[in-house]
Structure 1
Amino acid sequence: MKLATWNVNSLNVRLPQVLDWLRDNPVDALGLQELKLTDDKFPQQAFTDIGYHAVWTGQKTYNGVAILSREPGEDVTRDIGNYTDIQRRVIATTLPSPAGPVRVVCVYCPNGQALDSDKYVYKLEWFLALRDWLKSELARYPRLAVLGDYNIAPADEDVHDPAKWEGGVHVSPPERDALKQLIGLGLSDAFRLFEQPPKSFSWWDYRMMGFRRNAGLRIDHILLSDPLREVCTACDIDKGPRGNTQPSDHTPVIATLTF
């Protein structure tokens, strides 16, 4: 079973690239972030035509998440329970697997903008709400995968130039602590279960030839509960799509589960 996550930074713009990638990489589930379209504009038929089911929640211009899957999902949940948020950032569904149901959660976590911004305060509050909700999800679904753009680089090894980023969002101690609190629920960063090449990133700024210089961050993650960690046999970053014409600034991350 292969699970993937990809912030596409506008599904309208990147739809042909997503379809091409799925044809070449027929993963069992793909979480998409930053759809940037309303629910009625979601291109469901395009995914149906290549054999994928879809659940989504979107909004105009900003945010929006979706899960594409080879098998239809059940018990679809949108947003974080008991947390009021007008921004569409979370969707979850339950998919079948040889080991039993797998709960797949797709998240687009807040950026935070700057440490002195109210958006940074919102980001930390949002992560607290996510942690509390995921705790309840884990109690219901022992096989849990949380895919998404977390907008947090867990450690300095996930940053191309830690000194340059010091004092900014994505790397601040409170943000990293918020991610550690999620992991402390009993989740593992699938990418770090395996030896990886140095300077492995999932996001590169469009400016200053960021991708060409590999001046990136690893902020897109797949977190797995213990039963899924035990069967995870690989986790990779596919840098290929970042080299496309008009690419997203993010690229897919894929985890392989062998039951």
Structure 2
Amino acid sequence: MKIATFNINGIRSRLRALLEWLRKEVPDVVCLQELKAPDSGFPVREINAAGYGAIWHGQTSWNGVAILQKGADPLESRRGLPGDKDDKQSRYIEAAIEGMVIGCLYLPNGNPQPGPKFQYKLAWFERLIEYSAALLESGHPVILAGDFNVVPTDNDIYNPRSWLKDALLQPESRECFERLLSQGWTDALRRIYGDERVYTFWDYFRQHWQTDSGLRIDHLLLSPDVATRLKTAGVSKWVRGQPHASDHAPTWVELGPPKRMHHARKGGSA
């Protein structure tokens, strides 16, 4: 089972690229971020024609998240992160798929910092930390996938020097990510790649794509029971090299089947 996350950076303008990637790589589940389209502007017809069901939480011009499932409609279990009833930004959607809870998130960027946008980022992160703890306590197998807008360590960026003031590298941002991981989540890409440098985002400036000057900000976090199923993980870098590409590349995990539970039986066969 292949589960991917992809910050599409405008689903209408990059629909052709999305459909080509779906056709070539055929992921089973896709978490999309930064749709930049209202609910009515989501291209559900084209996505259905490609063989995928979808749920989405749009917003005009900004943000927006969606979950696609191959051959089925995802069963929505949550829309919006709990903890702030006044938060109107479309940044979280969640579905029950194949016995798992899959949360798709687009964490606030937080720039410029310091300032209100950075405070919103940290407040949203705190809500995520609180909610993710409840997800783990639920006992369900869970994946949190998306654009976390955090570079966890200096090993996750080509060179931190020119990004020192960026919200993605601030100690507060990294500390939140560490607290999240310490709940028991497995950072899938880091588990597979070890200390090897691997990037998921290359911005449009200063030839960063051409020189492989990237950042790792798209993450798939696995609950302990899902982590035991992890076979491999990777980044579909070829998508970033396409004309008019998003500045992110799809990032994915491949899972083996769930571990079977063996129960001792009394008195012979059932």
Bin of the TM-score, shorter chain as denominator length: over 0.9
Give the Cα–Cα distance (whole angstroms) in 2 for the partners of residues 93 and 247 of structure 1.
Answer: 27
2:90 corresponds to:
88
1:213 is displaced (CA, Å) by: 1.1
1:1-259 paired onto structure 2 within 5 Å = 1-70=1-70, 71-84=72-85, 85-96=87-98, 101-195=99-193, 198-259=196-257
1:194 is displaced (CA, Å) by: 1.5
Residue type of the partner of 1:58? G
TM-score, normalised to structure 2, is 0.91
1:145-187 deviations in whole A, cap 9, x for unaligned? Answer: 0110000011111011122222321111110011111112221
Give the Cα–Cα distance (whole angstroms) in 2 for the partners of residues 197 and 45 of structure 1.
Answer: 42
Deviates more, 1:8-17 or 1:127-136: 127-136
Give the Cα–Cα distance (whole angstroms) in 2 for the partners of residues 209 and 141 of structure 1.
Answer: 45
Can you give the 5+ residue segments of structure 2 that lack an aligned partner in the other structure? Answer: 258-270
1:197 is displaced (CA, Å) by: 7.7
Deviates more, 1:72-81 or 1:3-12: 72-81
Residue type of the partner of 2:110? G
1:96-115 deviations in whole A, cap 9, x for unaligned? Answer: 1xxxx110000000000032
Residue type of the partner of 1:175? S
Asked if structure 2 preserves the Cα contact closer than 8 Å seen for 1:3 and 1:27, the reply is yes
Q: Give the alignment's Cα RMSD to 1 decimal.
A: 1.3
Can you give the 5+ residue segments of structure 1 that lack an aligned partner in the other structure? Answer: none
Asked if structure 1 preserves the Cα contact closer than 8 Å seen for 2:55 and 2:76, the reply is no
Deviates more, 1:178-187 or 1:28-37: 178-187
Asked if structure 2 preserves the Cα contact closer than 8 Å seen for 1:105 and 1:147, the reply is yes
Give the Cα–Cα distance (whole angstroms) in 2 for the partners of residues 38 and 73 of structure 1.
Answer: 19
Over the matched positions of the two proteins, sequence identity in percent amounts to: 34
Give the Cα–Cα distance (whole angstroms) in 2 for the partners of residues 185 and 199 of structure 1.
Answer: 24
Between Structure 1 and Structure 2, whose CA radius of gyration is higher? 2
Give the Cα–Cα distance (whole angstroms) in 2 for the partners of residues 154 and 199 of structure 1.
Answer: 12
Aligned length: 255
1:89 is displaced (CA, Å) by: 0.2
Give the Cα–Cα distance (whole angstroms) in 1 for the partners of residues 40 and 82 of structure 2.
Answer: 23
1:47-86 deviations in whole A, cap 9, x for unaligned? Answer: 1112111000011100000000123322431101232311
Q: Give 3-state SS (helix, strand or coil) of 1:250's partner.
A: coil
TM-score, normalised to structure 1, is 0.95
1:141 is displaced (CA, Å) by: 4.7
